[in-house]
Amino acid sequence: MPKLLHISASPRGERSESLALAGTFLETYRRRHPGDEVGEWDLWDGTLPEFGPAAAAAKMDVFAGREPAGPGAEAWRRARAAFERFAAADRYLFSVPMWNAGVPYILKQFIDVVSQPGLVFGFDGERGYSGLVTGRKAAVIYTSAVYGDGRGPAFGADHQAPFFEGWLRWAGITDIAAVQFRPNLAAADVDVRRARARADTVEAAKNF
């Protein structure tokens, strides 16, 4: 049974623009794929492990072909469990608000936890990295309250989409659909842009 996993990086609940659009996507997707399993992973729910000294040491042990031991063994087990939860899906929906021109730190933590050698990536001394999360699709909803394409530098910069889509491609996920809602919330046409983003979200879900 195909499985879609919605991974949310927004902590704002009902006030979240990215979660509202994700809800529209999932509603449309469920209508078109009633037999598919749909899962939710709120990255703020406390299930994402930290990635500190023990985990970093375990990662380098694995990179060197050694089995993690001591505190590193438990950190590695938790990282693998997070990866397996991620890898159990074959389609992904990410809701990604912009924070300080980039992504929320909880999403970076997710990336750091699951991006492990032999799991998300392989490495060869001559050929470099190779993504191992292949054969999957991703849809990404990007929102920002101030930054938008064509606005001057006083409105910020986009280190959000290039970073995140760069990670997806590095991991092996190249079939990516993106929806953006970047209205400048101080502007007069916010509702028009929101409706346009919702329509774009519906189309993305129909074609996913």
Q: What is the pLDDT of residues 5-20, one digit of tens each?
A: 999 999 999 999 999 9
**Any idea what the CATH number is for the domain that residue 91 is in?**
3.40.50.360
Q: How many CB atoms lie within 10 A of CB 179?
A: 24
**Residue range(s) defining the domain that contains residue 38:** 3-206
Asked if residue 186 has pLDDT above 90, the reply is no
pLDDT for position 201 = 98
pLDDT for position 29 = 97
CA-based radius of gyration for the chain = 18
**What separation, in Å, do the N-terminal and C-terminal C-alpha atoms of the chain show?**
16
The β-bridge relationship of strands 128-131 and 121-124 is antiparallel
Asked if residue 1 has pLDDT above 70, the reply is no
Q: Where are the alpha helices (DSSP H) in 33-140?
A: 53-63, 71-87, 105-114
At 132, list the tokens: 């191992």
pLDDT for position 203 = 97
* Mean pLDDT on 175-179: 98
- Number of domains into which the chain is organized: 1
Q: Which residue has the tokens 């729910």?
A: 45
To the nearest whole percent, how much of the chain has pLDDT over 70? 100
Could you give the CA distance from residue 97 to residue 131 in angstroms, rounded to a whole number?
Answer: 25
Q: What is the pLDDT of residues 87-106, one digit of tens each?
A: 999 999 999 999 999 999 99
